[in-house]
Amino acid sequence: MSDYKMDAARAAMQLLKEGQTIGLGAGSTIAKLIELITTECSFASSLTFISSSFTTSNLILEKGLNLRYTNTIKKLDLYFDGCDQFDKELNALKSGGGIHTTEKILASMALEFVLIGDAGKFAEQLDTTYPLVIEVLPNALPLVLNHLNTSFPDARLNLRMSSQKDGAVISDHGNLLVDIHFSALLPLEELNIRISLIPGVVEHSLFYRIAAKAIIAGPDGVQTLLPQRIS
């Protein structure tokens, strides 16, 4: 049985060049890319890595690769990450891990943000399969929830709660995470703006027109997709 994530990771590795600074997100495809870099990249020691993920950062260190931290660099050559779902414009929802704020910072720092993973993540248009996740300043939570309930009365809001301790999930930045389950998505440009303008919202999990390409693998082989912009 084909390992599509490994196929996508192997194709992504072809973009690497000696001396680059590479950003890495989270997930199993990223872990496979790190394994390939460790075992098959002849210039791995010349590469510098930054990650948005605690787990990925630990793996980078475990493999003996050069890890630096976000506040020590100004730009990335490449940022690789997976997603929950992406569309033909390469708009992506990255809702699962709750680290989208740091992921978006690194994606915006990169000369090229590349989505990688299996072809099953592709949809012609983003839908409501996954929630939009927002990171919220704790002292703004009542304001934000009230604003969302007023603006999106059909949406269902869930404050993420911890399964390992009493209380809410706390983000890497000390904030709260709220899942917004829409009955239908607004036009993405409008959604991107309206959520971003709510006072107290730090960031949201819609990556609107940030990705430069997607490398995916599936039954039809490995494909590199470029954004099909809709005016």
Over the stretch 191-227, which tens digit does the pLDDT of each residue have? 999 999 999 999 999 999 999 999 999 999 999 999 9
Return the pLDDT at 155.
97
Amino acid in the structure at residue 124: E
In CATH terms, is domain 4-121+208-221 a member of 3.40.50.300? no
**What are the residues facing 142 on neighbouring strands?**
none
Return the pLDDT at 71.
86
Return the pLDDT at 163.
79
Segment 120-178, tens digit of pLDDT = 999 999 999 999 999 999 999 999 999 999 999 999 999 999 877 788 898 999 999 99
pTM for the model:
0.94
Do the domains 4-121+208-221 and 132-203 sit in the same CATH topology, yes or no? no
- Checking if the pLDDT of 90 tops 70, the result is yes
Please list, in sequence order, all residues whose beta carbon lies within 8 angstroms of the beta carbon of residue 37, skipping any fewer than 6 positions away: 13, 16, 44, 47, 63, 65
Segment 22-71, tens digit of pLDDT = 999 999 999 999 999 999 999 999 999 999 999 999 999 999 999 998 88
The catalytic residue positions are 103
Return the pLDDT at 231.
62
Burial class (CB in 10 A: 0-12, 13-18, 19+), 70: middle
- Checking if the pLDDT of 1 tops 60, the result is no
Assign domain 132-203 to a CATH class. Answer: alpha beta
Strands 132-136 and 78-81: unpaired
Ordered by start, the domain boundaries in the chain are: 4-121+208-221, 132-203
Return the pLDDT at 96.
83
- Checking if the pLDDT of 94 tops 90, the result is yes
